[in-house]
Amino acid sequence: MKSTVDRPAAGVHYEEVDPDAAGQRLDNFLLGRLKGVPRAHVYRLIRSGQVRVNSGRTGPAHRLKAGDRVRVPPVATRPEAARPAPEGLGWLTDRILYEDKRLLVLDKPAGMAVHGGSGINLGCIEAMRVLRPETELELVHRLDRDTSGCLLVAKRRSVLRALHELLRTGRVEKQYLGLVKGRWQHGDTEIDVALTKFHRGAAHEVRADRTGKPARSIFSLVESYGELCSLMQIRILTGRTHQIRVHAAHAGHPLAGDERYGDPAFNERMAALGLRRLFLHAQTIGFVWPESDETFTVSAPLPPDLGRFLERLADGRLPAQERI
């Protein structure tokens, strides 16, 4: 078996932020330049103060400005793993919902991470870069690994900046479909509960915390299936990590198949009926382009496995005690 040897660490160097990189987060800026360095290590470098912007310490989410001077410490990296052949990723091209010169929208499959890291060699963005090596592709936002549906990918840095500004100012509308435990009896409900991210071992989790970051979701009933579960349309007004999952659990109606924040007994009943994943799908995303006032909206169809599961529920193939 061929062994790999770490490349020697280079000395400290400084990078000046050019106009194309203005508005980018510090962590993403570094990840684009420190190829092969794990994301977790990049975060440690920032938090320990080894990375500085204009001689000052800052956090991973700091937005860079043109002309900023970034101190990059010496980092030993491993050779990048061999990239898969584009031929093996052609199926992902078939999942492109929309594409023009500015962006593409991918119907992300459940079970595939949006980016590599933490033991994942290839995420959606890395795969798309293999398929489109001539195009500069950047993730506009993220979806949980087990969530399917609309994922925005910018094809130019200026587009990435514009879409990030829309996201920061709440001008991107994102709607999801989710199946929750029990009969929803609250009508259209806005859940305005702040959230805090914390680490538990190697993983991070999120909890409701009034001292956390503001988070708002609107839950609307689509259909109830007896007392067992309810299909909800969920519109998020903020974009916090695990927001829908934590808000649903906080409301007493955890998402079906949610192994982190859900109800284990309910998940077992759902699995017995054929559900094999988290029932959360990013159905629609839309916004207005700031320069042209052009309305942009795209939707991802419900995946066949979730559609078949809903058909089973609608056909009344439920345990007798779960029926209306």
Q: Which residues are catalytic?
A: 144
CA dist 301 and 285 (Å) reads: 12
CA distance 230 to 222: 7
CA atoms within 13 A on the CB side of 45: 22
d(CA 93, CA 315): 34
- Count of Cβ atoms closer than 10 Å to residue 56 Cβ: 9
- What are the residue ranges of helices labelled H in the chain? 26-33, 39-47, 90-93, 124-131, 157-168, 243-250, 264-272, 304-314
* Among 158, 119, 163, residue whose Cα is nearest residue 141: 163
* Type of residue found at 178: G
